[in-house]
C-alpha cells in the first residue's frame, strides 16, 4: 500500500464545524480523498479497479450505489471496475481486503481503495437508530436508546464488576488522554483543536450516569459523530513500478485476515473480543511474527472499553490486565507499543465506512516516516504495524500486518 490520503474528520471538536451551516457531502469527500491518492500515483490512468467502503449512506444521505461515484473522481476511472462494500464500521477494512484479493488474483496491479461516511446529517438520537443496523436490529427494542453505547456500556459494566471499577476507569482515562494528545498532532483529526488540560482528571470527574447517557460510560469514552473519507493505493510489485513509487515509500502487506461472528448471537464473553482475538492471531500467523514484534497498532476504539479489550485480544496483556497495561503508559506514543498514534476513533474521528482505510493510512505514514508531528520512533527489533478494524459488536473484523517496503 502507498499514497494514503485523509480528508479532515469533520464534526464537533473542529473549530470550523457548524451544524447549522452547509457542509461538504458525500461527493466532496469521495472526490477529495480519491484525488489525494491519484495525485501521488501519477493519475487515474494507472488504476485498474476501485473499492469503496461505506456503512449507511443509504440512510444518512439517502444515497446508495457508491461505486458509481468513483468515475466522478476522474473521467479516466469511468468504465473501470468499481464497487462498494459494507460491513458496518468494518466497511473500510473490507475495501482493503477486497483490493488485496484483486491483487492476489492478478485481476489488477493497481487498486484504489477508499472509505467514506457523512453522518452529521441527523440528530444523535436518530443516528443511534441508524447505527443500530450494525447489530442485529431485532434486538433494537431490547437495547438502550443509544444502542451501541449501551452495548459497550454493558461490556464495561462486567469489566468493572470482574476487575474493579477504579482500576478499570484509570486505564480508560489514560486511553482517553492518549487519544486527545495524539489527535492534537494530526491536522486532519477531529480533536486536533482540543486544547484541554488535565485530561485524565477531566475524564475521572465525568462519572458515568445512566440518567443522562449510559450506565457505565461517559461521553469521553465514546468516538464522535464524524464526516470524512480516506483513500490508499494497493498495488502489486508490477503496479509499484507502473506508478513510479519507490518501495521505501510503500508498506508491504505480509499478513491479513477477515473473520465474521454470527450477528444473531450475543458475544460469548462480555469481557473478550473473541473475533478480534481470532482475526489478529490469524493475520500474525500468516505474517510469521508475534505480537511482541509489532511496533505500532491502530485498533478499533469506538469506545474506550473496546480499546482496553482490544489490547487484551491481540495478546499484549492477559485478560483483566489491559487496563493496567494502558494506565502504565505502554500504549502511549512513547510507550512499549504506541497505539492509535493520530488519535484513533476517539481522537481522530470515526466516519464509520472510512475508519479501516484511515487506519491503514496512519500505519503507512508511520512506517515510511510521513506522519509529520505525529511521527513515532520505530526500532529495528519491532518494525511491523498492525491494524484492527471492527464492524458491529465484534462481528466483522479485518486485521492486516504491514512492514516498510525494501
pLDDT digits (tens, 9 = 90+) for 386-405: 999 999 999 999 999 999 99
Closest CA to 351 of 6, 3, 21, 1: 6
Q: Do 230 and 278 share a domain, yes or no?
A: no
Once rounded to an integer, what is the mean pLDDT over residues 372-381?
A: 97
Instruction: Using the CB atoms, write b or e for 374-389: b if 16+ within 10 Å.
Output: bebebeeeebbbbbbb
Domain count, the chain: 2
Q: Do 194 and 212 share a domain, yes or no?
A: yes
- Calculate helix-pair angle for 304-313, 165-183, nearest 10 degrees: 100
Percentage of the chain surpassing pLDDT 90? Answer: 98
Q: Do 84 and 217 share a domain, yes or no?
A: no
Percentage of the chain surpassing pLDDT 70? Answer: 100
354-372 pLDDT tens trace: 999 999 999 999 999 999 9
Tell me if 331 sits within 8 A of 311, measured CB to CB: yes
Question: Residue 28 falls within a domain, yes or no?
Answer: yes
C-alpha cell at 15: 473549530
What lies within 8 Å, CB to CB, of 112 at 6+ separation is: 34, 37, 38, 47, 49, 50, 51, 70, 77, 99, 231, 233
Q: Do 385 and 318 share a domain, yes or no?
A: yes
Q: Provide the domain limits for residue 80.
A: 2-122+225-247
Q: Do 243 and 300 share a domain, yes or no?
A: no
Return phi, psi of residue 326, to 5°: -75, -45
Question: Residue 136 falls within a domain, yes or no?
Answer: no
Question: Residue 381 falls within a domain, yes or no?
Answer: yes
Q: Do 166 and 96 share a domain, yes or no?
A: no
Closest CA to 119 of 12, 238, 39: 12
What lies within 8 Å, CB to CB, of 187 at 6+ separation is: 8
Closest CA to 345 of 92, 28, 36, 160: 92
pLDDT exceeds cutoff 90 at 186: yes
270-294 pLDDT tens trace: 999 999 999 999 999 999 999 999 9
Q: How confident is the model at residue 158, as a pLDDT?
A: 98
Q: 75: burial class by Cβ within 10 Å (0-12, 13-18, 19+)?
A: exposed
What lies within 8 Å, CB to CB, of 200 at 6+ separation is: 173, 174, 176, 177
Q: Do 379 and 323 share a domain, yes or no?
A: yes
Question: Residue 271 falls within a domain, yes or no?
Answer: yes
Once rounded to an integer, what is the mean pLDDT over residues 301-329?
A: 98
Once rounded to an integer, what is the mean pLDDT over residues 188-193?
A: 98
C-alpha cell at 380: 529495528
Q: Do 203 and 273 share a domain, yes or no?
A: yes
100-154 pLDDT tens trace: 999 999 999 999 999 999 999 999 889 999 999 999 999 998 888 899 999 999 9
Q: Report the mean per-residue pLDDT for the chain.
A: 97
Once rounded to an integer, what is the mean pLDDT over residues 232-254?
A: 98
Question: Residue 397 falls within a domain, yes or no?
Answer: yes
C-alpha cell at 200: 485524565
Residues 54 and 64: their CA atoms lie apart, in Å, by 9
Tell me if 114 sits within 8 A of 85, measured CB to CB: no
Can you give the CATH number for the domain in which 65 is found? Answer: 3.40.47.10
Tell me if 283 sits within 8 A of 399, measured CB to CB: yes
Q: How confident is the model at residue 124, as a pLDDT?
A: 86
Q: Do 230 and 305 share a domain, yes or no?
A: no
C-alpha cell at 267: 458475544
Tell me if 399 sits within 8 A of 279, measured CB to CB: yes
pLDDT exceeds cutoff 90 at 196: no
Local confidence band at 302 (pLDDT 50, 70, 90 cut-offs): very high
- Which of 212, 247, 282 is the C-terminal boundary of a domain? 247
- The string of DSSP letters for 170-222 reads HHHHHHHHHHHHHHTT-TTSTTTT---SSHHHHHHHS---TTTS-SS--GGGB
Q: Do 180 and 94 share a domain, yes or no?
A: no
Q: How confident is the model at residue 286, as a pLDDT?
A: 98
Residues 11 and 22: their CA atoms lie apart, in Å, by 12
Tell me if 56 sits within 8 A of 352, measured CB to CB: yes
Using alpha carbons only, give the angle 374, 331, 204 rounded to the nearest 5 degrees.
100
Question: Residue 139 falls within a domain, yes or no?
Answer: no
Extended beta strands in 71-135, E state? 82-85, 110-118
Q: Tell me, rounded to whole angstroms, the distance of Cα 30 from its chain centroid.
A: 17
Question: Residue 231 falls within a domain, yes or no?
Answer: yes
Q: Do 197 and 232 share a domain, yes or no?
A: no
The structure's pTM equals 0.98
Question: Residue 138 falls within a domain, yes or no?
Answer: no
Q: Do 23 and 89 share a domain, yes or no?
A: yes
Amino acid at each position: 500500500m502507498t499514497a494514503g490520503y485523509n480528508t479532515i474528520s469533520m464534526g464537533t471538536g473542529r473549530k470550523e464545524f457548524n451544524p447549522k451551516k452547509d457542509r461538504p457531502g458525500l461527493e466532496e469527500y469521495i472526490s477529495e480523498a480519491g484525488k489525494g491518492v491519484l495525485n501521488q500515483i501519477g493519475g487515474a490512468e494507472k488504476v485498474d479497479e476501485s473499492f469503496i467502503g461505506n456503512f449507511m449512506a443509504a440512510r444518512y444521505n439517502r444515497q446508495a450505489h457508491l461505486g458509481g461515484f468513483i468515475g466522478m473522481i476522474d473521467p479516466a476511472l469511468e468504465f473501470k471496475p468499481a464497487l462498494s462494500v459494507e460491513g458496518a464500521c468494518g466497511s473500510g477494512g473490507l475495501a482493503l481486503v477486497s483490493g488485496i484479493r484483486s491483487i492476489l488474483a492478478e485481476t489488477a496491479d493497481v487498486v484504489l481503495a477508499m472509505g467514506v461516511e457523512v453522518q452529521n446529517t441527523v440528530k444523535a438520537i436518530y443516528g443511534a437508530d441508524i447505527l443500530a443496523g450494525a447489530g442485529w436490529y431485532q434486538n433494537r427494542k431490547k437495547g438502550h436508546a443509544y444502542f451501541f453505547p449501551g452495548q459497550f456500556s454493558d461490556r464495561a459494566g462486567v469489566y468493572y464488576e470482574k476487575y474493579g471499577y477504579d482500576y478499570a476507569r484509570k486505564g480508560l482515562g489514560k486511553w482517553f488522554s492518549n487519544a486527545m494528545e495524539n489527535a492534537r498532532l494530526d491536522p486532519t483529526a477531529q480533536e486536533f483543536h482540543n486544547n484541554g488540560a488535565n485530561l485524565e482528571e477531566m475524564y475521572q470527574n465525568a462519572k458515568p450516569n445512566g440518567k443522562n447517557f449510559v450506565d457505565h460510560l461517559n461521553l469521553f469514552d465514546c468516538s464522535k459523530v464524524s464526516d470524512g473519507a480516506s483513500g490508499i493505493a494497493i498495488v502489486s510489485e508490477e503496479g509499484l513500478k507502473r506508478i513510479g513509487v519507490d518501495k521505501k515509500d510503500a508498506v508491504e502487506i505480509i499478513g491479513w485476515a477477515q473473520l465474521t461472528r454470527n450477528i444473531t448471537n450475543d458475544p460469548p464473553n462480555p469481557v473478550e473480543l473473541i473475533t478480534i482475538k481470532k482475526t489478529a492471531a490469524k493475520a500474525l500467523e500468516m505474517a510469521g511474527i508475534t505480537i511482541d514484534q509489532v511496533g505500532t497498532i491502530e485498533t478499533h476504539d469506538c469506545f474506550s472499553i473496546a480499546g482496553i479489550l482490544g489490547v487484551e485480544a491481540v495478546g499484549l496483556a492477559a485478560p483483566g490486565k489491559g487496563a493496567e497495561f494502558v494506565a502504565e503508559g505502554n500504549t502511549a506514543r512513547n510507550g512499549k507499543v504506541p497505539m492509535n498514534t493520530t488519535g484513533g476513533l476517539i481522537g481522530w474521528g470515526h466516519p464509520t465506512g472510512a475508519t479501516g482505510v484511515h487506519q491503514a493510512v496512519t500505519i503507512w505514514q508511520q512506517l515510511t516516516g510521513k506522519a509529520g508531528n505525529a511521527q513515532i520512533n520505530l526500532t529495528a527489533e519491532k518494525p511491523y504495524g498492525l491494524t484492527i478494524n471492527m464492524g458491529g459488536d465484534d462481528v466483522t473484523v479485518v486485521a492486516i500486518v504491514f512492514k516498510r517496503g525494501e
